[in-house]
């Protein structure tokens, strides 16, 4: 029966796959093959130019014995925890407040969200200026008469990472808010009415009923913010340049400077692979569960 | 000539067989309804006729030509979908002409065809609107207009009325019937609504689990259902299926709780069937309207029962009672039945159908 | 009015006050950096060093803007941001157009012409949305080198198009999946083929998601820094790289007003897009939560 298919019909059956294939090739090469390539370099002795030998895990051992990398990992941990906690807290608060039939909601939402449209370089530049102790916020507060006020975190190695957190929170809160708000809007308002009739107060309703219902939104926000924090590179570079000293070094900046500034391509590749594995460990289960759910819905 | 022959057609997705050797054939001008619950394979069959799904085995012939490997556009068919599937960015006119444009029909002919179809369906005033500006019924008409202008050998309808509200559904049903009468085209129509099947079809194919249970005229399907499944699916309220014992003289004996058993004689049965089923358990099929309040002096077999529930519907009353250990519904004239009361009921034996209690197929 | 009702009303009013108060305070916090950038960019350097930070400028001057646009030194060249602004435009426009077009046809195929393994292919592409680009920078630099595209705008267009496909495919796939399959079936019966259905039926219906995709891609590519700084140098850099260079010049007295003007120049295109089409921007953002 199949053999009677005309050549034209057979062509048109394959046409969609044919049209899709260049994209697929681009993704396979640009993502998967390149990852494999980086993985290979991370197992080689490459320094300034790629070398295709095999030295086992030497570069990884070197990486983990570099104090600078340890700083980067510790910073990433501190940064991610604070960044997620604060962004989620403020984002959720704003979303809940905005969900109370607010006048000018559209305008307010736009205000909270606009930093998301900016480049991290712009954000870093702006906050570098604001956090500048000689001329920025510290001086404004001092001029207001509160002369003892000190806010010089950006110049102090032990505190500079918190400056990165502040700027990153400022930029990303709107994103968390948008997802939480979408989640809140998806909740049947009759649930709130039912709880009110039972005598629950509004804060209690949110705490005990609504927030637990936002589980999928929480999942999305946590995953996507973690991803942002792992790859955050531009912000650190623009805000602190990794300094003072290398106190705000992050894996992303470490990878960049190892590869392009210090001629340690092998170590750079190893650090890139570490970043990739971290992201993959978070993202792949997430994508898997999302796709599975999506399939169940159809 | 626009006949349709479905010859031992099968469809499988991997190991999952959704259609098992379906054979149906209809002639020019027939209105075939594929009737069944969701998942019975009726929509799959329709899509295979349209060429939107491949055929695993067997042959489909339209007007005598095998179409198994033809693409939809070469099959000379038109289709109306459940969601109407109107192109959202095109006006009604553009929607109707789209197919003709692709086939490079001249503008003048296109205009003529659009005019004829839109006059017929009374949508001329809507031609410049977008689908989003139309009501459900209007969208339905446009979808039919799009089908009509193709002048196909075969019209396919995939549950076209199920997205409409109850009132509109009845109106559009009449509309489709009128259209069929006027155009005289061959139609294949898929639905799960047995009333649509009864009112529209010249032939009904009742399907279940990928198998055609019965293929016949609607009235025949109603009066002489091939098996218990068809008997229950067609008709509302459904046919009552009551266990009974068949005596050698053809009398069916039905137990009634706390009362003497009902003895229903005079059921039409062939001598052969009588010989085979005498003394055995059978299933008696009685339509609700075949019960009536027994009048004194009538010769029809009667039974005495107690009504449980009585539901007036207006034109008549549905009375529920126990018979042979199952719940049974009778359709009676208004105000004749009262819940909790005893009553004598007569049965129209000429309409009774018997089924084998094992295979559940009809006994003739 | 009973006392109970009165106290309930008072509690309600207090609640509203709290809500609006918090929202306004937060709004001020989020607007403050933009405000500081704008007023600083309009001040003279002397005024800044005399200690004016948050207040309005005493005398508005566009000196810093002119300098940032046409004279500021980036590396050895002192032509301001203008050439880099042009670079970014030359990079962004083709990359946005290409990646959106490819995403549209991919989404169409993955929803309306499903084939065995289509879901797997989609999954492969989806991971590209979350790729830490550090993992591909090295080989990409090699590839661009062997294609003789290192340090060129076409090279950046290629990179952004490839890594944009994941997101644009996701957008269009999730959009087209909401369009009933019956629509393509109806068009097939009407005799339309693969491309005809795409251009006549699907694309006209996809206008909103085309806007979403263009805006998202525009913002992403315009704001990119990593690819720019990795694959270009000197004159061929995009604006984000140039901005970073201006800001990190350490010679002489720091020109904060020029820095802020430069940052504003780099921010204006995406801000304008955001203000004009914020609704679509949010849709792109939340589409990152895969199901959208």
Backbone φ, ψ for residue B263 (5° rounding): -115, 110
Q: Which CATH class is domain C82-287?
A: mainly alpha
- B195 and B323 together in one domain: no
Chain C (229-258) residues lying within 8 Å, Cβ to Cβ, of chain B = none
Residue A261 touches chain C, beta carbons under 8 Å: no
What is the C-alpha R_g of chain A?
25
- B287 and B220 together in one domain: no
Could you give the CA distance from residue A250 to residue A136 in angstroms, rounded to a whole number?
25
- B307 and B341 together in one domain: yes
pLDDT of C2 > 80? The answer is no
Could you give the CA distance from residue C110 to residue C122 in angstroms, rounded to a whole number?
7
pLDDT mean across residues, chain C: 87
CATH of the domain at B297: 2.40.50.140
3-state secondary structure labels for all residues of B100-127 = HHHCCCCHHHHHHHHHHHHHHHCCHHHC
- B215 and B245 together in one domain: no
pLDDT of A298 > 70? The answer is no
pLDDT tens digits, B182-217: 888 999 999 999 999 999 999 999 999 999 999 999
- Domain region containing B94: 4-227
Would B220 be classed as within a structural domain? yes
Contact A224 C289 (CB under 8 A): yes
Would B235 be classed as within a structural domain? no
Chains linked to A by 3 or more Cβ pairs within 8 Å: B, C
Task: Characterise C226 by phi-psi region: left (phi > 0), alpha (psi -120 to 50), beta (else).
Answer: alpha
pLDDT recorded at residue A293: 66
Taking CA atoms, C210 is separated from A26, B333, C103, C213, C280, in Å, by 21, 63, 9, 5, 10
- B292 and B344 together in one domain: yes
pLDDT of C74 > 80? The answer is no
Could you give the CA distance from residue A246 to residue A237 in angstroms, rounded to a whole number?
11
Would B234 be classed as within a structural domain? no
From C69's Cα to the closest Cα of chain A, the distance in A is 15
Whose tokens are 């500034």? That residue is A261
Query: Which residue ranges form the domains of chain A, and what is each CATH number?
Result: 1-42 (no CATH), 61-297 (1.10.3720.10)
Taking CA atoms, B312 is separated from A167, B122, B294, B303, B320, in Å, by 72, 39, 19, 22, 11
Domains identified in chain B, total number: 2
Task: Give the SS3 label for residue A50.
Answer: coil
Q: Closest CB to C162: pick one of A30, A233, A279.
A: A30
Taking CA atoms, B229 is separated from B7, B93, B192, in Å, by 24, 45, 14
Mean pLDDT of B148-170: 89
- B254 and B223 together in one domain: no
Residue A208 touches chain B, beta carbons under 8 Å: no
Residues in chain B within 8 Å Cβ distance of C178: none
Q: Which of B189, B204, B227 is a domain's end point?
A: B227
Q: What number is the ipTM of this complex? A: 0.87
Task: Give the SS3 label for residue B199.
Answer: helix
Residue A293 touches chain C, beta carbons under 8 Å: yes
Q: Where are the domains of chain C?
A: 3-71, 82-287
Contact B71 C186 (CB under 8 A): no
Going by the DSSP 8-state scheme, the letter that residue B335 receives in this structure is T
- Poorest-pLDDT segment among A30-39, B326-335, C3-12: C3-12
Tokens of A161: 């990472």
Mean pLDDT of B288-308: 84
- B220 and B251 together in one domain: no
From C260's Cα to the closest Cα of chain A, the distance in A is 7
pLDDT tens digits, A177-202: 999 998 898 888 788 888 878 777 77
Count of C-beta atoms within a 10 Å radius of residue B4: 25
Would B214 be classed as within a structural domain? yes
pLDDT mean across residues, chain B: 91
Task: Characterise B183 by phi-psi region: left (phi > 0), alpha (psi -120 to 50), beta (else).
Answer: alpha
Q: Which of B227, B262, B291 is a domain's end point?
A: B227
Nearest chain C residue to B47 by CA: give it.
Answer: C185
Would B266 be classed as within a structural domain? yes
Q: What is the DSSP string of B124-177?
A: GGGTTS-GGGS-HHHHHHHHHHHHHTT--SEEEEESTTTTS-HHHHHHHHHHHH
- B135 and B209 together in one domain: yes
Contact C190 B85 (CB under 8 A): no
- B163 and B244 together in one domain: no
Residue A15 touches chain B, beta carbons under 8 Å: no
- B130 and B41 together in one domain: yes
- B164 and B301 together in one domain: no
Residues in chain A within 8 Å Cβ distance of B69: 1-2, 4-6, 9
pLDDT of B297 > 80? The answer is no
Contact A275 C243 (CB under 8 A): no
Contact B69 A12 (CB under 8 A): no
pLDDT recorded at residue B257: 81
Counting one residue from chain A and one from chain B, the pairs whose CB atoms sit within 8 A come to: 12
Most A CBs within 10 A among C11, C134, C253, hence the mutation to make, goes to C134
From B72's Cα to the closest Cα of chain A, the distance in A is 11
- B219 and B125 together in one domain: yes
pLDDT tens digits, A44-58: 888 887 888 888 888
């Amino acid at each position: 029966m199949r053999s009677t298919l005309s050549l034209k019909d057979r062509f048109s059956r394959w046409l969609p796959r044919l049209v899709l294939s260049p994209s697929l090739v681009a993704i396979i090469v640009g993502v998967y093959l390149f990852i494999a390539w980086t993985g290979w370099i991370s197992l080689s002795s490459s320094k300034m130019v790629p070398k295709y030998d095999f030295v086992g895990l030497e570069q990884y051992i070197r990486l983990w014995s570099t104090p600078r990398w340890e700083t980067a990992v510790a910073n990433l941990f501190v940064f991610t925890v604070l960044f997620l906690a604060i962004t989620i807290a403020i984002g959720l608060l704003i979303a809940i407040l905005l969900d109370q039939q607010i006048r000018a909601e559209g305008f307010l939402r736009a205000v909270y969200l606009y930093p998301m449209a900016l480049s991290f370089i712009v954000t870093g530049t702006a906050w570098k200026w604001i956090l500048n102790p000689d001329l920025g916020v510290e001086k404004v507060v001092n001029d207001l008469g509160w002369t003892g006020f000190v806010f010089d975190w950006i110049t102090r190695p032990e505190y500079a990472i918190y400056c990165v957190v502040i700027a990153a929170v400022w930029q990303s809160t709107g994103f968390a808010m948008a997802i939480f708000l979408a989640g809140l809007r998806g909740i049947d308002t009759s649930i709130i009415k039912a709880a009110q009739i039972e005598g629950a107060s509004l804060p209690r309703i949110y705490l005990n009923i609504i927030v637990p219902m936002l589980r999928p939104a929480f999942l999305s926000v946590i995953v996507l913010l973690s991803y942002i924090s792992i790859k955050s590179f531009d912000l650190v570079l623009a805000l602190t340049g990794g300094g003072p000293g290398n106190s705000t070094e992050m894996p992303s900046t470490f990878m960049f400077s190892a590869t392009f500034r210090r001629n340690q391509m092998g170590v750079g590749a190893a650090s890139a692979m570490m970043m990739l594995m971290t992201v993959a460990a978070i993202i792949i289960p997430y994508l898997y569960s999302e796709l599975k759910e999506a399939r169940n819905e159809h | 000539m626009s006949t349709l022959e479905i010859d031992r057609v099968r469809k499988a997705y991997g190991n999952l067989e959704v259609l098992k050797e379906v054979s149906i054939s209809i002639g020019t001008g027939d209105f075939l309804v594929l009737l069944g619950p969701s998942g019975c394979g009726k929509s799959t069959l329709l899509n295979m006729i349209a060429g939107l799904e491949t055929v695993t085995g067997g042959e489909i012939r339209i007007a005598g030509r095998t179409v198994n490997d033809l693409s939809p556009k070469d099959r000379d068919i038109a289709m109306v979908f459940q969601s109407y599937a109107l192109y959202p960015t095109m006006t009604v006119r553009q929607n109707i002409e789209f197919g003709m444009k692709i086939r490079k029909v001249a503008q003048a002919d296109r205009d003529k065809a659009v005019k004829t179809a839109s006059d017929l369906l009374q949508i001329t005033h809507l031609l410049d609107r977008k689908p989003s500006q139309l009501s459900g019924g209007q969208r339905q008409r446009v979808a039919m207009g799009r089908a009509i202008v193709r002048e196909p050998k075969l019209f396919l309808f995939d549950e076209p009325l199920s997205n409409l509200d109850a009132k509109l559904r009845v109106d559009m049903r009449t509309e489709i019937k009128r259209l069929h009468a006027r155009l005289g085209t061959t139609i294949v129509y898929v639905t799960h609504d047995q009333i649509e099947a009864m009112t529209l079809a010249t032939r009904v194919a009742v399907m279940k689990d990928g198998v055609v249970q019965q293929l016949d005229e609607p009235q025949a399907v109603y009066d002489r259902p091939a098996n218990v499944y068809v008997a229950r699916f067609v008709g509302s309220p459904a046919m009552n299926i009551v266990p009974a014992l068949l005596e050698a003289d053809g009398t069916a004996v039905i137990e009634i709780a706390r009362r003497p058993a009902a003895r229903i004689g005079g059921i039409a049965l062939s001598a052969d069937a009588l010989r085979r089923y005498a003394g055995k358990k059978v299933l008696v099929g009685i339509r609700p309207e075949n019960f009536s309040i027994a009048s004194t002096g009538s010769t029809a077999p009667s039974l005495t029962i107690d009504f449980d529930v009585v539901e007036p519907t207006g034109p008549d009353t549905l009375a529920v009672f126990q018979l042979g250990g199952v719940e049974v519904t009778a359709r009676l004239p208004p105000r004749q039945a009262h819940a909790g009361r005893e009553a004598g009921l007569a049965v129209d034996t000429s309409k009774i159908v018997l089924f084998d209690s094992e295979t559940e197929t009809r006994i003739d | 009015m009973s006392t109970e009702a009165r106290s309930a009303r008072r509690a309600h009013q207090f609640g509203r006050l709290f809500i609006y108060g918090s929202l306004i305070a937060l709004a001020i916090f989020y607007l403050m950096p933009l405000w500081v950038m704008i007023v600083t960019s309009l001040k003279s350097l002397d005024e800044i060093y005399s200690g004016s930070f948050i207040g309005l400028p005493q005398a508005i001057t566009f000196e810093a803007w002119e300098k940032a646009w046409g004279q500021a030194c980036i590396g050895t060249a002192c032509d301001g941001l203008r050439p880099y602004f042009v670079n970014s435009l030359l990079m962004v426009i083709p990359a946005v157009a290409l990646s959106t077009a490819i995403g549209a046809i991919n989404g169409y195929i993955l929803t309306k012409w499903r084939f065995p393994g289509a879901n797997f292919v989609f999954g492969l592409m989806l991971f590209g949305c979350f790729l830490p680009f550090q993992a591909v920078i090295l080989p990409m630099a090699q590839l661009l080198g062997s294609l003789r595209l290192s340090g060129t705008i076409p090279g950046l267009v290629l990179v952004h198009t490839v890594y944009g496909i994941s997101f644009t495919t996701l957008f269009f796939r999730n959009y087209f999946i909401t369009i009933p399959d019956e629509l393509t079936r109806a068009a097939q019966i009407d005799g339309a083929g693969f491309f005809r259905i795409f251009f006549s039926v699907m694309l006209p219906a996809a206008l909103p998601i085309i806007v979403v995709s263009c805006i998202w891609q525009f913002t992403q590519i315009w704001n990119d820094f990593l690819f720019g700084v990795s694959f270009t140098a000197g004159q061929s850099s995009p604006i984000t790289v140039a901005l970073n260079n201006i800001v990190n010049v350490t010679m002489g007295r720091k020109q904060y007003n020029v820095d802020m003007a430069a940052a504003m120049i780099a921010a204006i295109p995406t801000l304008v897009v955001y203000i004009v089409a914020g609704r679509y921007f949010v849709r792109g953002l939340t589409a990152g939560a895969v199901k959208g």
